[in-house]
Structure 1
Amino acid sequence: MTTSAVSAVRIGVQLQPQHADYAEIRRAVAEAEQLGVDIAFNWDHFYPLYGEPEGKHFECWTMLGAWAEQTSRIEIGALVTCNSYRNPDLLADMARTVDHVSDGRLILGIGSGWFEKDYQAYGYDFGTAGSRLDQLAEALPRIEQRWAQLNPAPTRKIPVLIGGGGERKTLRMVARHADIWHSFSDLDTFTRKSEVLAGWCTELGRDFTEIERSVGVPSGAPDQVGPAFVEAGARLFTVGLGGPSYDLGAVRDWVAWRDSL
């Protein structure tokens, strides 16, 4: 399998908005930009995923609007937005607005949703994994159509990142709609699912090499674990960090590795 034509390796950080005061999150995103990361992500949940289940937590898109004003160079986005939580046309308008506030630095990361506690507490229909994927498949064209209708239009073609590895539905959506595919997987799984994605691209007439492939960083030193993923076609490596404080030491290591390539 050939590696992606997306050639430059990029480093992201996911600042998980849990267990922290907002002042600490603000400090962390400023430090991430200063260190030279390419993208700062948060996530779209209403409660912590790890640690104290009722701990401190902040909302995704309000935060992205603040980051759009606070930062000046890095791209920003959610890893990932839950499609179920907002009307697709509204989400498109929110993304377009943050795109303008940030002068064209938003990535729309999106997925079908999975954290049942969010759904129950906020009154959303949890459905099934299959029904949530079907809703995402219906939402993506609506988002694209709304972007084409908004005045003013987005500042650029807003990159769409789709997270997940379902081979029958999710990767087909990636082939049809995404600019970036994010994988939550080890090297062997990443390689196999990349092959599946390439097959969907062939079937749908999409150039597979247009899609940037992204991974959450595995444990280990970047120069030990990164090269094999690069050989397999990964180009975006994201370090996940949670509160109450955000130690960006590992991010610094990954940025240094990127700069050594």
Structure 2
Amino acid sequence: MTQSRPVRIAVQLQPQHAEYSVIRDRVKELEQLGVDVLFNWDHFFPLYGEPDGLHFEAWTELASWAEMTSRVEFGTLVNCNSYRNPDLQADMARTLDHISGGRFIFGTGSGWFERDYQEYGYEFGTAGSRLDALAEALPRIESRWGKLNPAPTRKIPVLIGGGGEKKTLKLVAKHADIWHSFATGDELVHKLSVLAGHCETVGRDINEIEISNELRDKSVEDADSMREQGITLFTLGITGPEYDLTAAKQWLAWRDSQNG
């Protein structure tokens, strides 16, 4: 695939093990530093560390981010489709779009963290049934965006995470503006080929889709190689209680060297 997109750096402020006052301060600092995108995640309990540690809900947190920032794009990496009616998700996304003046990214996925489901009373099902539910939800979400008054301020970008070749990548081809991949090297080459095939089937150019990946445990050399493979959105996950921004500053300097 060809790429002419600039490199972008995202930071995922994982909403765990921190007081909200700290999260608020880091959001402001990261926008001032020049981060392109801020993400949280859509879970109800910490994913690592103390399992019953401090934790906050994603969407209500994002409304706070929408008001306290003025430039950075933001969203969930990723929303769990199982937790909310699809039309409600669309309305929530449209509202955040307006609060922020058109900076919200609708990152979504099928869900996977079983404790969330068990403790909050959702049916866990299977990986396949959750993906099928996401496939049913996405057209409803897009349809609702066309009915809401007022309409979204822009075509809300859809980010889909995951690499399943039969279902997930087909959804990416049909619906996503951004694909969040965990694959690198030969695996990424293969999955991009699969995605290109799905795009051809639905009559879409794969180059319309921004390719996103993780920076955790990656070196500059790794990131350079990933850039050559077409990845342009790089996400660094950081956790509480303090959210060390040292690595974020280093990756922003690398971004600037890539973009000239």
* TM-score tier (shorter): over 0.9
User: In the alignment, what sits opposite 1:3?
Assistant: 2
Check conservation: 1:4, 1:210, Cα contact below 8 A.
no
Check conservation: 2:216, 2:237, Cα contact below 8 A.
no
User: In the alignment, what sits opposite 1:160?
Assistant: 158
The one-character-per-residue Cα deviations of 1:198-244 (angstroms, maximum 9, x if unpaired) are 1111111111000000001142433x221111111101000000111
Other structure's SS at 1:214 match: strand
* The 10-residue stretch of structure 1 (121-130 or 198-207) with the greater mean CA deviation from structure 2: 198-207
State the one-letter code of the partner of 2:248. Answer: V
1:193 aligns with 2:205: no
Note the residue ranges of structure 2 that are not aligned, 5 or more in a row. Answer: none
Other structure's SS at 1:149 match: coil
* TM-score, structure 2 normalization: 0.97
CA distance in 2, matches of 1:220, 1:155: 36
1:250 aligns with 2:247: yes
User: In the alignment, what sits opposite 1:80?
Assistant: 78
CA distance in 1, matches of 2:186, 2:29: 33
CA distance in 2, matches of 1:59, 1:188: 36
* Residue number among 38, 41, 44 corresponding to 2:39 in the alignment: 41
User: In the alignment, what sits opposite 1:70?
Assistant: 68
CA distance in 2, matches of 1:101, 1:244: 28
Other structure's SS at 1:95 match: helix
Other structure's SS at 2:150 match: coil
1:241 aligns with 2:238: yes
Other structure's SS at 1:64 match: helix
User: In the alignment, what sits opposite 2:25?
Assistant: 27
CA distance in 2, matches of 1:84, 1:52: 25
CA distance in 1, matches of 2:203, 2:107: 23
State the one-letter code of the partner of 1:27. Answer: D
User: In the alignment, what sits opposite 1:141?
Assistant: 139
State the one-letter code of the partner of 1:205. Answer: G
Q: How does 1:195-234 map to 2 (within 5 A)?
A: 195-222=193-220, 224-234=221-231
Check conservation: 1:3, 1:232, Cα contact below 8 A.
no
Give the aligned length: 258
How far residue 196 of structure 1 moved from its aligned partner, in angstroms, is: 1.0
1:176 aligns with 2:186: no
What's the Cα RMSD here? 0.9
How far residue 193 of structure 1 moved from its aligned partner, in angstroms, is: 1.1
CA distance in 2, matches of 1:33, 1:151: 30
The one-character-per-residue Cα deviations of 1:62-88 (angstroms, maximum 9, x if unpaired) are 000000000000001000000000000
Check conservation: 1:16, 1:243, Cα contact below 8 A.
yes
Other structure's SS at 1:107 match: strand
CA distance in 2, matches of 1:184, 1:17: 21
Identity level (%): 66
CA distance in 1, matches of 2:186, 2:22: 36
CA distance in 1, matches of 2:12, 2:215: 11
Check conservation: 2:43, 2:58, Cα contact below 8 A.
yes
CA distance in 1, matches of 2:84, 2:185: 33
State the one-letter code of the partner of 2:257. Answer: S
How far residue 189 of structure 1 moved from its aligned partner, in angstroms, is: 2.2
Other structure's SS at 1:114 match: coil
